[in-house]
C-alpha cells in the first residue's frame, strides 16, 4: 500500500449511493415524485450533455417527455435530491442537447472530474442492465428491482446482482526502469502497462504474476496494490499494481504483444511529454497514466 498514490480519474463520484433506500419500495416511490429528482439520459450507451460542454451533464426532470416511461436506475442522492440514470432507446437528442460516446470523450482528456465519475458509474449500470435482460440460470426474462440494483427472474426465482469484472494492470519496474508494451490491438505506437482479466481462482497478485510471465516472460518479485479505477467499457474494475523484477530480457506473447521496451525515468518523462516520436503515452484519464506519473514522481514503487 502506497499512501501517497494518486486517485485515478472516474473515482470518488460525489453522489451518496443511499443503498439503504434500495430495498424500501415506499421510499423509492416517494423519491420519484419529488420535484427535485433528476435523471441522466443514456441513448443506448451514449450520454446526454446539455449543450456541448462536458461539465454540463444532461440532468432531466422526471416529468420531461424525454425520460417519461424510460427505465430508471437509482444512482443515489445529491444533497438529498434523488438522481437516476434513464435508459432510452432513441438516439435523437432533445433541443440544445448532445449525446456523446463516453469512451472517446474520456480518453480525449476533455471529460473528467466529478461529472465523468458520476456518469461512468451510471454507464456501468446501464451496460449491465442492457446485457442481462435474461436469466443466466433459466433463460427467461428478468426484471429490474431494488431501484435497479438487482434483476429478478419470476420464472425460477433467481436474483442477479450488478457485475464488475476485475482486471489487473501492472507497472513493472527493474532497477529504475519500467516495462512498457505495445499491444497488437493498440492504435499506432501506443505503449502502456500490460493488463489482463483476473481469472477464477486467482488473487490479484497471482493474476499480476501470471500476466507478466505470459505476456512479457518476466518473473516478478514483490507485487503491491497501488490504486484502482472503475472503467465502464463495459463494466471493469482496473486494479493498478506495481511489481518488481530482476529479469531484463522480454519473451513476448506474440498473439498479444507486438513490442516491449524498458524506459528509465527520463525516458518515461519524455514519453509522457510526447518527446519520443515512436512511443505514444497512455492517455491521461486511463489508470496506466496515473501509475506511470506516480512512479515517476516517487509516490509508488521501490527503486
Ligand atoms: Zn430464471
What are the two backbone dihedrals, phi and then psi, of residue 17, each rounded to the nearest 5 degrees? -65, -25
Please choose, from the candidates 174, 166, 163, the residue with its C-alpha nearest in 3D space to the C-alpha of residue 247.
174
Residues near ion ligand 1 (CB < 5 Å) are 135, 137-138, 140, 153, 155-156, 158
Give 136 Cα–ligand 1 centroid separation in angstroms: 7
**What whole-number distance in Å separates Cα of residue 119 and Cα of residue 111?**
10
- DSSP-assigned letter for residue 219: P
**Each residue's pLDDT expressed in tens, for the chain with a length of 303 residues:** 799 999 999 999 999 999 999 999 999 999 999 999 999 999 999 999 987 677 789 999 999 999 999 999 999 999 999 999 999 997 789 989 999 999 999 999 889 899 999 999 999 999 999 999 999 999 999 999 999 999 999 999 999 999 999 999 999 999 999 999 999 998 889 999 999 999 999 999 999 999 999 999 999 999 999 999 999 999 999 999 999 999 999 999 999 999 999 999 999 999 999 999 999 999 989 999 999 999 999 999 997
What are the two backbone dihedrals, phi and then psi, of residue 3, each rounded to the nearest 5 degrees? -70, -15
Give 242 Cα–ligand 1 centroid separation in angstroms: 41
Give 137 Cα–ligand 1 centroid separation in angstroms: 5
Give 141 Cα–ligand 1 centroid separation in angstroms: 7
**What whole-number distance in Å separates Cα of residue 267 and Cα of residue 246?**
19
Domains of the chain: 19-131 (3.90.79), 165-296 (3.90.79.10)
Amino acid at each position: 500500500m502506497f499512501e501517497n498514490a494518486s486517485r485515478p480519474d472516474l473515482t470518488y463520484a460525489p453522489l451518496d449511493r443511499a443503498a439503504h433506500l434500495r430495498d424500501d419500495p415506499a421510499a423509492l416511490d416517494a423519491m420519484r415524485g419529488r420535484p427535485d429528482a433528476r435523471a441522466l439520459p443514456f441513448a443506448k450507451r451514449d450520454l446526454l450533455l446539455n449543450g456541448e460542454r462536458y461539465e454540463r451533464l444532461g440532468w432531466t426532470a422526471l416529468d420531461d417527455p424525454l425520460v417519461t416511461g424510460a427505465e430508471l436506475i437509482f444512482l443515489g442522492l445529491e444533497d438529498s435530491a434523488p438522481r437516476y440514470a434513464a435508459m432510452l432507446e432513441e438516439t435523437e437528442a432533445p433541443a440544445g442537447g448532445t449525446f456523446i460516446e463516453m469512451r472517446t470523450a474520456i480518453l480525449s482528456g476533455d471529460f473528467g472530474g466529478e461529472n465523468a465519475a458520476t456518469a461512468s458509474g451510471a454507464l456501468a449500470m446501464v451496460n449491465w442492465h442492457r446485457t442481462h435482460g435474461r436469466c443466466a440460470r433459466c433463460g427467461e426474462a428478468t426484471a429490474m428491482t431494488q431501484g435497479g440494483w438487482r434483476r429478478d427472474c419470476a420464472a425460477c426465482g433467481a436474483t442477479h446482482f450488478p457485475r464488475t469484472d476485475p482486471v489487473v494492470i501492472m507497472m513493472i519496474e527493474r532497477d529504475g526502469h519500467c516495462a512498457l508494451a505495445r499491444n497488437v490491438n493498440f492504435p499506432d505506437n501506443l505503449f502502456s502497462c500490460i493488463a489482463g482479466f483476473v481469472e477464477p481462482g486467482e488473487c490479484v497478485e497471482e493474476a499480476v504474476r501470471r500476466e507478466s510471465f505470459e505476456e512479457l516472460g518476466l518473473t516478478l518479485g514483490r507485487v503491491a496494490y497501488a490504486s484502482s479505477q472503475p472503467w465502464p467499457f463495459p463494466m471493469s474494475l482496473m486494479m493498478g499494481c506495481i511489481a518488481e523484477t530482476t529479469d531484463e530480457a522480454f519473451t513476448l506473447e506474440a498473439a498479444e504483444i507486438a513490442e516491449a521496451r524498458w524506459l528509465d525515468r527520463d525516458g518515461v518523462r519524455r514519453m509522457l511529454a510526447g518527446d519520443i516520436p515512436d512511443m505514444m503515452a497512455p492517455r491521461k484519464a486511463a489508470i496506466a497514466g496515473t501509475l506511470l506519473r506516480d512512479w515517476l514522481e516517487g509516490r509508488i514503487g521501490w527503486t
